[in-house]
Amino acid sequence: MSPSLLSRLGTSTSAITSRIAYNAFTLYLFSASDIKTTIIPVSFFALGAAPLSRTNRLSHAVQSIFWIYLHVLQFNLANQVRDPEEDLRNKPWRPLPSGRITLRNALIFRYLAPVLCVAISACYSTRVFYSSAFFALLIPMYHELHGDQHWLTKNLMNAVGYACFAIGSTLIASSDRSKLDFTGSFSIFVISSILATTIQAQDFQDVPGDKLVGRNTLPIAFPNISRHTPLISLLFWSAYLSFIWEIDTPARAGFTCLAVVVGLRYYLWRSTKADQLSYFLYNIWLAIAFALPGYWRMYKESAAR
């Protein structure tokens, strides 16, 4: 093989590798802001709520997390192609406002994503397929039919969406992917209720952009009253979760103190930058809440056998 041919092959390989890396990073940017808010908390939940396989534990865990990521990406593609102008104000680093991808190409990915997600889900079990298919139907209801425009429907649809995440990922992480046991089903009901009553925590930091597109979130509809809701709801859920999952006194105190810190921050510090930090701390609280079924399975359920 001649040196010139080797040089051309090397250049071609380098260009292909660079293109793949560029596109992979672009897809990552679509969901980067949801790694801490959705992917990590739901992964904690799925791996904790599921009766894990003894022989394929690591494999099932990796597949569960990948399934969550694909569905988060599906949601984000639909969200970001709908109104790229909103991200110019709130998140200008995302692929569309930053010019990393054209709207036409993003739309292609947006409509391929649900097909891919549902097809992959069908390979696991009927129930995983149903959770993915329902999630795919929920997305246009949330975006194109403007379910996110009012705080009540936004909160409820977010809770249902998280339930879809939780059902599919918990089944994939489980030893039996065709059904959920009582602990898994009850855990999903609880976390859906938590999200329905606390998800407005993510809206405080986005008030300028939401006003721009006419979205009526809870902080916009009730700017003063809504500032009380994180403290009240997080304290209630901290007490309830500590009771049902039987966590010990030091852990209960730490969990409750974190809820107080988050709730007071939302009430006392109201700048966009302060709300971003408060939301970060809220997600730490949420990740702990999502991990508690795993704590119960590991330390309480196993001890009762």
| CATH class assigned to 34-178 | mainly alpha
Question: In the numeric block, which tokens belong to residue 128?
Answer: 């995983």
The rounded distance, in Å, linking the Cα atoms of 174 and 277 is 34
Q: Which residues pair with 95 in a beta bridge?
A: none
pLDDT at 134: 97
Neighbours of 238 (CB within 10 A): 24
**Band of the pLDDT at 53, cuts 50, 70, 90?**
low
**Band of the pLDDT at 216, cuts 50, 70, 90?**
very high
What pLDDT digit, counting tens, does each position of 163-187 carry? Answer: 999 999 999 999 889 999 898 999 9
**Band of the pLDDT at 10, cuts 50, 70, 90?**
low
pLDDT at 7 over 90: no
What pLDDT digit, counting tens, does each position of 16-47 carry? Answer: 777 888 888 888 889 888 888 888 888 888 88
Q: Which of 295, 250, 299, 237 is nearest to 49 (CA)?
A: 295
The rounded distance, in Å, linking the Cα atoms of 254 and 192 is 23
Please give the average per-residue pLDDT across 251-259, as a whole number: 96
Q: What does the domain layout of the chain look like in residue ranges?
A: 34-178, 216-297
144, with CB counted inside 10 A (0-12, 13-18, 19+), is exposed
Whole-prediction pTM: 0.86
CA distances from 36 to 52, 54, 155 (A): 23, 28, 19
The rounded distance, in Å, linking the Cα atoms of 136 and 121 is 12
Q: Which of 203, 245, 204 is nearest to 45 (CA)?
A: 245
The rounded distance, in Å, linking the Cα atoms of 140 and 135 is 9
Question: In the numeric block, which tokens belong to residue 3?
Answer: 């040196």
The rounded distance, in Å, linking the Cα atoms of 124 and 122 is 5
Residue with tokens 């489980």: 174
